[in-house]
């Protein structure tokens, strides 16, 4: 069973059909939708502010989601994949997004719907992406427009696969 803890009177709340790895940690004011998964060594820390996560979101191995005390919250839409060892901090991630492995999304960023943030990319504080775009680099910049083929082959495929992968562990 994952480590699920209350903090400051707030207890995580989950939708239906969610799966959490035994060593995942979910703390405080976290509200998660349906069909989500939180993988090995991931941390979702709603101790200092709220974290809202939509439906069909996967938080892959070693990823961290956190906020800044009394300044930023995290809002994550539907159909979002947070890649291995990514850091999502005090930001908004809209629907149909892939945050690549090791990427960092800082406070006050807004990742618009239908985007890919490439592996290792760093979105500096306050960055606002364009819809249907791929961002890469340090600091991250738009490198191309997201095609329907790339969207289906990456964003959609990964989100769907993680619902299937989670079912293997139930």
Express each pLDDT in 146-167 by its tens digit. Answer: 999 999 999 999 999 999 999 9
Query: b/e for 53-75, b at 16 or more Cβ within 10 A?
Result: bbbbbbbbbbbbbbbeeeebbbe
Q: How far is CA 59 from CA 70, 79, 118, 163, in A?
A: 24, 11, 16, 11
**Gap between the Cα atoms of 125 and 29, Å rounded:** 23
pTM, full prediction = 0.97
Residue 48 confidence (pLDDT):
98
Report the chain's mean pLDDT, rounded to a whole number. 98
CB-side neighbour CA atoms (13 Å) of 15: 16
Percent of the chain topping pLDDT 90: 98
- CATH code of the domain occupying 3-168: 2.160.10.10
Residue 7 confidence (pLDDT):
98
**Gap between the Cα atoms of 82 and 93, Å rounded:** 10
pLDDT digits (tens, 9 = 90+) for 32-90: 999 999 999 999 999 999 999 999 999 999 999 999 999 999 999 999 999 999 999 99
Confidence label for 1 from pLDDT (cuts 50, 70 and 90)? confident
Per-residue pLDDT, averaged over 118-130, amounts to 98
Confidence label for 132 from pLDDT (cuts 50, 70 and 90)? very high
**Gap between the Cα atoms of 152 and 88, Å rounded:** 23
Percent of the chain topping pLDDT 70: 100
**Gap between the Cα atoms of 150 and 148, Å rounded:** 6
Q: How many CB atoms lie within 10 A of CB 137?
A: 12
Confidence label for 10 from pLDDT (cuts 50, 70 and 90)? very high
Chain centroid, CA 168 distance in Å: 21
């Amino acid at each position: 069973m994952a480590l699920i803890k209350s903090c400051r009177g707030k207890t995580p709340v989950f939708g239906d059909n969610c799966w959490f790895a035994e060593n995942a940690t979910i703390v405080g004011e976290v509200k998660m939708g349906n069909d989500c998964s939180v993988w090995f060594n991931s941390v979702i820390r709603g101790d200092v502010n709220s974290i809202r996560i939509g439906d069909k979101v996967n938080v892959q191995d070693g990823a961290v989601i956190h906020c800044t005390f009394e300044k930023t919250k995290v809002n994550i839409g539907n159909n979002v994949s947070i890649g291995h060892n990514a850091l999502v901090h005090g930001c908004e991630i809209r629907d149909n997004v892939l945050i690549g492995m090791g990427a960092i999304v800082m406070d006050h960023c807004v990742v618009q719907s239908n985007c890919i943030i490439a592996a290792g990319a760093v979105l500096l504080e306050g960055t606002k992406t364009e819809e249907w775009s791929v961002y890469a680099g340090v600091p991250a910049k738009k490198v191309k427009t997201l095609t329907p083929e790339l969207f289906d082959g990456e964003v959609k495929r990964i989100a769907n696969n993680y619902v299937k992968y989670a079912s293997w562990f139930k």
